Structure 1
């Protein structure tokens, strides 16, 4: 080259006429990775992509999280669904377990795999050993930043992830992957930097070392568990018309199964241990599995209220909103559709999630000032103004069209510091819009939204409860501010705003169960976990629970074993041990209240997560010869309907028959009424001390329970006796009420 060009200097201009011809040294052709390509090499793709394979259940759409085109159900241009987005090279030879269909991720989101959940099913019954055939070249539960994919413009619906280089997590739901704050403290790293890549490569090398903990979900075949859950809750081959316009029963079953599966996944991940640099999101993976199985509700996109979802319903994960059909995108704060106007298509907003990421505000719970999307501050300190596009444009169009927009408010969870709660607050209309300077100095779109009249209380109820807590307003109808007289961690008020009754019959409040004599049992090993019991260890208390800890770090029950083995008096772990959840007292602000027709009942000021511990049934352990007039009896020998059917013909039995009377001495558990469709279930809890065993009755939430909703459980059916309890008229008001209980 130098011979042709001569020397080049500042004083001598380049003579381009002397360049006769320049040919490349080699021919450049596209190079695709071979089946044996290693994902650790520089040529490898930045993430693994596997399209859902089906067959899909009738009426189920091909689910691609975040990017969800509005195509008709069951249609696609490829043999197994929609064509892959352009710009993606899919490596061949990637072996992925068929039970884990990992969908396309176009917005910085790589879904993972599945988990477990509370179930009377023994955990080990679904565990299979790892094999060479089912190992994936890449840990399927690692979340890595994908290569940017061209955004689809079909129906003018465009959903993208966080802008390249952005690290601001206090912007808005559409520019970061929503971290609900409940999963082991993991978040998804969406940085697209060399430092992030180096950290992830280092983590993968660590995971391959001799001391590595296995993280691939291919080690556990969870497909049998998923199929068992779907069959148990009648979510196989859902009627297409019911799935398009769902009722409350279907919505609740879908969300319940999601939480059961999510908690099982979380428990499996927990047992594998923490891998630095690898983020595992059980909430996203459980939702992906159910979407691919067609287990979802309200598949028809709509403007206005969603069938089967009531104002005030609570959700603890963004994926639940998607499964219920309330808000489609799992990242974006604005959901919108495309409508044809004079032959052209324009966006129309259908729902928003206001989770406090921007400077959203409201006054009395009926007005919401909502901030638009975009306008983030990047790493290079460049502040970008928001633009009138995508969700912002959809809101502006909805202002002029005057259509209703669903509003979901995101709030902090008072019982978990990092958690969020999503409350459906009904439908609003956009009243006006304007642009103003935000705190970061960029222009921000503002939308004033007014709540439609005639709707039940939603967010305003939460504001009232917070004012009760703060003492700003007095709770109406309070008879006693603390029924327990300080015996519990939190006060429990006695409330009557129905009639003139001044309180229940006298009893002595006792927060724990009183044993005359414990049950005898074979000698049991006690743990020596001075820092608290940990998963994936040789802790004897973990082994008693099938090799898993029964509770999450947030204190949520992860599995419905026949018996929960908690640490006993002989164990050396501290009182705050994760395996002593039922021993640490109340975590919820409860109240005993006067019902309209069932006497006294129990409810909570706090929203309750599915699987959360509520309270014990405290009282005195008595013999079989009980007083037939005692209405405060809990008998573990009764037949109780399990939360999910147990895959065995053998009857479910507790290890010891336990009968508790709370007539003269007991706690708030004695006020919990019967319901044919309860929101609370009980689990036997066993605590052992050398050769002594103490059985306790723990109450846990079946599903998410909004504040001030009555807490109920099924009283069960007594054993067949000549002189047993007589039937009583049931006033639970459920659509499935049997009309009586014992």
Structure 2
């Protein structure tokens, strides 16, 4: 956060240890004595304590009914119509409602907070599950590829060998001669293929993640007519499975979400005063050839009789039943319907983005002969007044108003604040100040500046992998992270869940720069922009969509000992508190994905005392110094070790905790405890927070 000049959100006090909760903040004599006993005060520092804690998704029992529906569903040509009933976990406990339905790891984040926080926690949990299953699929596909290569090699060997011939072996190496039976087992007939040949036996990771959440009762089940708390008009989903996970649209396949007579018992009780079925939500995504969408006024084609193989043509008559009858009953009972529009988009792993466009009222319906000659039911819906304007009415709904080039930016004050040091230019804009000014007072560095007087730890030996590290059982670096790599290959590398520390491959490893276990070392991957705000000084946003788990930027500054940083006006100091986070000291939240450090890396005395080193970006640093605090951040802090294994000197990297749409401001939680900062007079200092989040604490410290 930029805090220069007289900005009201400036941080300008020294950070101290968290106040004793039993001591009232107004009594500061104890702290004044502590302050006077020191010749210099330690300035406040950004900490990596309050971060997102997605669930460590181990093997979770699956919901058998949902499993039967999802098994084998991988491509559109495999899809069949889903069950008539709303897809929910049967016999779910009554307390599994919006305020409680989050995974254990996200429960603290969701409980007692706003509906937005609960929804966000559920979505984060969904993507943690999703990335775990992506990793499983990557390993499975890697095994299939290896098996196929083995089959090809054996087939070539068989062709080369004539009938009755046997391989020639050097007598010196006769002990290496393979057993003839084993060779016969490996040899396959022409046309044969491994049983697990990839696509046919796979299941989409998002559907497997959904199965887990439904089977364990951690998916949200708001059971509401109308808008869902925590999901505003314009909210974007990146798959239908994600919508099911938060209870916004309870069919991962069908376009109509309705409550049927044979649905979940608790759900039926919630709608006991209505004539069932009733439709509560529809998805408009162009799947029916008879659809007509004018945004405010929609003619929606009912369900049934559609060719789900992909050509969208009717192949049968529709009936007034299930979702169609639900729409008719919604008309009769004046039940508003949530409308979600799907649009093709490359940023989504399913090729579509689904946007909530608000509530519509069914105003009429009729049956007619459709384009293909079959009976179809049509439903006219009109958008209710008094709602925010549509976002999907414009072509750029997923892109905002992203300029085509840097020269097109309004308020451009600097074309590249990095001066060419980053592989992607970072422009700066200012439409707030008059006259507009550019960021000043610092020198841009793309690598950590290490004083000559500071001795760095010895570099580790590294793994013996060649090319890219693919087998976690063979990679010595991966073993340090637990049972597997911390990342998946998807989207250029994404971390599955936050950890106290991640061990990456380093300069002495045998793998190349594209190795998945070097995800945070690949430089700037997204087009970032520094822009001026009215209340928070400088801020950072991305022109590109950033998927959850992606490495965004490393916090760069001058490496210093914390005892040497005594300037209370320096607001860009970041404590390297990896060890303290692991132990949960000073109110830091321990992470579910933690893996204990090997004993030779841990010194109990180091863990008990405060951070020994910090990154000072006051006079020199990178774009990360401009990223603001938020009480509901979309980034989290991750400590990473690669060159060495000294956690006191870990690299500090910011990762995406959510799917971040273009032009959304980037933010992370600075980690300050309330009433934890004293001024020069020993009084507790307070600083107003302007993050604007629904769960804002109103004070930064």
**Is the structural similarity TM-score above 0.5?**
yes
| Other-structure match for 2:120 | 252
Q: 2:483 maps to what in 1?
A: 547
Measured in 2, the distance between the counterparts of 1:730 and 1:685 equals: 32
Contact 1:386-1:445 within 8 A present in 2 as well: no
Query: In the alignment, which of 333, 342, 357 is matched to residue 410 of structure 1?
Result: 342
Distance 1:249 1:737 in 2: 11
* SS of residue paired to 2:279: strand
Q: How far, CA to CA, are the matches of 1:428 and 1:482 in structure 2?
A: 46
Match of 1:293 in 2: 216
Aligned-pair distance for 1:586?
A: 3.1
1:538 to 460, 469, 474: 474
Please give the alpha-carbon distance, in whole angstroms, between the structure 2 residues aligned to 1:643 and 1:365.
47
2:74 maps to 1:230:
no
**Secondary structure in 2 matching 1:541:** helix
CA distance, structure 2, for counterparts of residue 229 and residue 653 of structure 1: 31
Other-structure match for 2:238: 316
In the other structure, the counterpart of 1:350 is 280
Q: Name the structure 2 match of 1:672.
A: 627
After TM superposition, the structure 1 = structure 2 runs for residues 297-696 of structure 1, keeping only pairs within 5 Å, are 297-300=220-223, 302-337=224-259, 347-355=277-285, 357=287, 372-377=302-307, 384-385=315-316, 387-389=318-320, 390-395=322-327, 398=330, 403-412=335-344, 414-415=346-347, 419-429=351-361, 450-457=382-389, 458-459=391-392, 463=396, 466=399, 468-469=401-402, 471=404, 477-480=411-414, 482-484=416-418, 486-500=420-434, 501-516=436-451, 520-521=456-457, 524-554=460-490, 555-624=493-562, 625-626=564-565, 627-637=567-577, 641-642=588-589, 644=591, 657-688=612-643, 695-696=650-651
Q: Is 1:348–1:395's contact at 8 Å kept on the other side of the alignment?
A: yes
- CA 1:575–1:694 in structure 2 vs 1: closer, same or farther (change >3 Å)? farther
Distance in 2 (CA, whole Å) between partners of 1:467 and 1:710 is 13
1:538, distance to aligned residue in structure 2 (A): 0.5
State the alpha-carbon separation in 2 of the partners of residues 371 and 109 from structure 1: 25
Is residue 646 of structure 2 the alignment partner of residue 712 of structure 1? no
CA contact (8 A) 1:510 1:618 kept: yes
Q: Distance in 1 between matches of 2:471 and 2:413?
A: 45
- Provide the rounded CA distance (Å) in 2 between the counterparts of 1:643 and 1:436: 62
Report if the CA contact (8 A) 1:643-1:702 is conserved: no
SS at match of 1:622: strand
The 1:599/1:330 distance shift into structure 2, 3 A limit, reads same
Task: State the Cα distance separating 1:708 from its structure 2 match.
Answer: 3.8
Q: Per-residue deviation at 1:736?
A: 4.8
Tell me by how many angstroms 1:428 deviates: 3.1
Distance 2:369 2:415 in 1: 46
**Matching residue of 2:69:** 109
1:298, 1:306 within 8 Å by CA — same for their partners in 2? no
- Report the CA distance shift for 1:365/1:495 in structure 2 as closer, same or farther (over 3 A): farther
State the shift of 1:560 in Å.
2.6
Residues 416 and 422 of structure 1: is their aligned pair in 2 closer, same or farther, counting only changes over 3 Å?
closer
Q: Which runs of 5+ in 1 are unaligned?
A: 1-96, 111-142, 146-161, 177-225
* CA distance 1:478–1:319, change in 2 (3 Å): same
Distance in 1 (CA, whole Å) between partners of 2:650 and 2:507 is 13
CA-CA distance at 1:368 after TM superposition: 6.0
Deviates more, 1:356-365 or 1:579-588: 356-365
Check the 8 A contact 2:472/2:483 in 1, yes or no. yes
| Contact 2:640–2:653 (Cα < 8 Å) also in 1 | yes
Change (3 A) 1:512 1:581: same
Q: Is the 8 A contact 2:561 2:612 kept in 1?
A: no
CA change 1:465–1:264 in 2 (3 A) is closer
Query: In structure 1, what is the Cα distance between the partners aligned to 2:82 and 2:310?
Result: 21
Structure 1 counterpart SS, 2:259? strand
Q: Measure, in 2, the Cα distance between the counterparts of 1:574 and 1:490.
A: 22
Q: Structure 1 residues 324, 507: closer, same or farther in 2, change over 3 A?
A: same
Distance 1:599 1:547, change over 3 A: same
Q: Could you state the TM-score of these two structures normalised by the residue count of structure 1?
A: 0.59
Q: Deviations over 1:118-168 (max 9, x none)?
A: xxxxxxxxxxxxxxxxxxxxxxxxx348xxxxxxxxxxxxxxxx9xxx964
1:541 to 1:230, Cα distance in 2 relative to 1, 3 A: same
Instruction: Give me the whole-angstrom Cα distance separating, in 1, the residues matched to 2:274 and 2:695.
Output: 48
**CA–CA distance in structure 2, aligned partners of residues 227 and 172 of structure 1:** 29
TM-score (norm 2): 0.62
Higher helix content, 1 or 2:
2
SS of structure 2 residue aligned to 1:568: coil
Alignment check: 8 A CA contact 2:221 2:246 kept: yes
Separation of aligned partners in 2, 1:704 and 1:460: 22
Q: Whole-Å Cα distance in 1 between the matches of residues 249 and 286 of structure 2?
A: 17
Distance across 1 between alignment mates of 2:540 and 2:415: 15
CA contact (8 A) 2:256 2:282 kept: yes
State the distance in 1 between where 2:688 and 2:591 align. 23
Q: Does 1:100 align with 2:35?
A: no
Residues 418 and 99 of structure 1, relative CA distance in 2, 3 Å threshold: closer
The total of aligned residue pairs comes to 535
Per-residue deviation, 1:561: 2.7
Once the two structures are TM-superposed, the CA of residue 228 in structure 1 deviates from its matched residue by 11
1:328 Cα offset (Å)? 1.0
Contact 2:482 2:595 in 1 (8 A): no
Q: 1:586 to 1:595 in 2, by over 3 A?
A: same
Distance 1:441 1:498, change over 3 A: farther
Q: Which has the higher contact order (CA 8 A, sep 6+)?
A: 2
Q: Contact 1:369–1:446 (CA<8 Å) still a contact in 2? A: yes
Q: Do the aligned residues in 2 keep the contact of 1:524 with 1:691 (CA within 8 Å)?
A: no
Q: 2:19 is matched with which residue? A: none
